[in-house]
Amino acid sequence: MKNFQLNAFLEAMLQFHPATSDLNFSVGRPPQVEVDGQLRAVPFKGLDRLMPFHTETIAMHLLGGDADQCRKLFQSGSADLSYSIPGKTRFRVNIFFQRGTLSIVLRVIPPGIPSIEQLGLPQELKKISDLRNGVVLVTGPTGSGKSTTLAAVIHEINQKHAYHIVTIEDPVEYMHSHIKSTINQREVGGDTPNFPLALRAALRQAPKVILIGEMRDLETVEVALEASETGHLVLSTLHTIDASKTIDRIIGIFPKDQEQQIRTRFAQSFRYVISQRLIPKIGGGRIAVLEILKTSDRTRDYVLKGEGEGKSLVDAMNMASTDGMMTFDTEIERIFREGLITRENALAYATNPTNLEIRLTLE
* Percent of the chain whose predicted confidence (pLDDT) is above 70: 99
Structure-derived torsion over alpha carbons of residues 169, 175, 178, 181, reported in degrees to the nearest 10? -40
Of residues 111 and 7, more confidence is placed in 7
Residue 2 pLDDT: 54
**pLDDT range class, residue 214, cuts 50, 70, 90:** very high
pLDDT in tens, 222-235: 999 999 999 999 99
Strand-pair partners of 277: 289
Confidence check: pLDDT of 110 > 90:
no
Q: One-letter amino acid identity for 349?
A: Y
Reported pTM: 0.88
Domains recognised in the chain with CATH numbers: 6-109 (3.30.450.90), 123-326 (3.40.50.300)
Q: Are strands 32-35 and 20-25 parallel, antiparallel or unpaired?
A: antiparallel
* Percent of the chain whose predicted confidence (pLDDT) is above 90: 87
Residue 209 pLDDT: 98
Q: Alpha-carbon distance 286 to 279, whole Å?
A: 5
Across 34-43, 281-290, 305-314, 325-334, least confident range: 305-314
Residue 362 pLDDT: 76
Structure-derived torsion over alpha carbons of residues 116, 121, 123, 128, reported in degrees to the nearest 10? -70
**pLDDT range class, residue 334, cuts 50, 70, 90:** very high
Residue 340 pLDDT: 97
Across 291-295, 303-307, 359-363, least confident range: 359-363
Cα 91 from chain centre: 15
Residue 361 pLDDT: 87
Phi, psi (rounded to 5 degrees) for 48: -65, -30
Q: Alpha-carbon distance 9 to 23, whole Å?
A: 11
Confidence check: pLDDT of 352 > 90:
yes
Confidence check: pLDDT of 106 > 70:
yes
CB atoms within 10 A of CB 127: 14
Mean pLDDT throughout 177-200?
94
Residue 3 pLDDT: 57
Tell me the torsion sign for CA atoms 195, 196, 197, 201.
Answer: positive
Strand-pair partners of 102: 97
pLDDT in tens, 247-294: 999 999 999 999 999 999 999 999 999 999 999 999 999 999 999 999
Cα–Cα distances in angstroms (integers) from residue 360 to residues 259, 334, 348, 351, 352, in the given order = 39, 10, 13, 14, 12
Mean pLDDT throughout 58-78?
93
Mean pLDDT throughout 101-115?
94
User: Mean pLDDT, the chain, as a whole number?
Assistant: 94
pLDDT in tens, 130-151: 999 999 999 999 889 999 999 9
Q: Are 267 and 303 in contact (CB under 8 A)?
A: yes
Residue 1 pLDDT: 59
Q: Are 290 and 331 in contact (CB under 8 A)?
A: yes
Cα–Cα distances in angstroms (integers) from residue 19 to residues 4, 11, 107, in the given order = 25, 13, 12
